[in-house]
Structure 1
Amino acid sequence: MPNTLKKILIADDDEAIVDSTALLLEVMGYQVSQTLDGSKISKAMQNKPDLVLLDIWMSGVDGRDICRQMKANPDTQNIPVLMISASRDVKQSAFDSGANDFLEKPFEMDALINKIATLIG
């Protein structure tokens, strides 16, 4: 049977958020990969996720720069990016960098699931 699970990459330097979100998404039937290190996102993108859940502020890396690079690359430009941040005032800059949607931390898991369902079905 072919694997039809949608793949989600979680990139956030907050291990508690990554762990709890990954657990929830796996229970929901998604195939989840994760990185706590912003510098490893491009390597993680080789798995061609269906969606990237991307923190704006990661140690040493700005998620908006990563998003801009993704959207400029023909191989990754069509992968939806759901940006997350504890700072509401970066919402517009997240969209300006090409993010498909934005979610403020702390977020309700229902809100996350609804946004993911909207982006990748």
Structure 2
Amino acid sequence: MSAKIIICDDEQEILDITSMILEAEGYTVIPTINSLTVTELVASEKPDIVLLDLWMPGLSGDQVARQLRSDEAVKSIPIIVISASRDGREIAFAAGANDFLEKPYDIDALLSIVNRHLLGGEQIAS
């Protein structure tokens, strides 16, 4: 059974490209453009990893991360925040993210971070 990854980004192109990259590696990807549905989706799907854009309408990635971290049933699922924001790294870690990937990201960097968390789940120092 392949690892399951939920991706939430408000830019359809990024959602599509990230999904294609991860699906080509054999992962099961559940994409959503609506940040308001992420917590329910995580609760029902129990993914192995959650990828969140930081700046989205509705709920921002850090708000979603905080919601997930406060839910006992899903709080141990690794969260990787993706953003072009200068202070995105600090915001992501303050919200409880396990890792941060800067946009525009390199495909190898994306796969490296995802694989590292699937294998070990260590947190990267900010």
Structure-1-length-normalised TM-score: 0.94
Offset of residue 43 of structure 1:
2.4
Counterpart of 1:72 in structure 2 is: 70
Counterpart of 1:55 in structure 2 is: 53
Counterpart of 2:109 in structure 1 is: 111
Q: Kindly indicate which of the two structures has a greater share of residues assigned to strand.
A: 1
RMSD: 0.8
Q: Partners of 2:114 and 2:47 in 1: how far apart?
A: 13
Offset of residue 89 of structure 1:
1.4
Counterpart of 2:100 in structure 1 is: 102
Offset of residue 92 of structure 1:
0.7
- Report if the CA contact (8 A) 1:10-1:33 is conserved: yes
Deviations 1:45-93 (A, max 9, x none): 1101100000111112111111011111111101000001111212111
Q: Partners of 1:42 and 1:93 in 2: how far apart?
A: 19
Counterpart of 2:36 in structure 1 is: 39
Alignment gaps of 5+ in structure 1: none
Counterpart of 1:24 in structure 2 is: 21
- Report if the CA contact (8 A) 2:7-2:50 is conserved: yes
Identity of aligned residues (%): 42
Q: Partners of 2:40 and 2:87 in 1: how far apart?
A: 29
Alignment gaps of 5+ in structure 2: 120-126
Decide which of 65, 69, 88 is 1:90's aligned counterpart: 88
| Paired residue type of 1:26 | E
Q: Partners of 1:43 and 1:73 in 2: how far apart?
A: 11
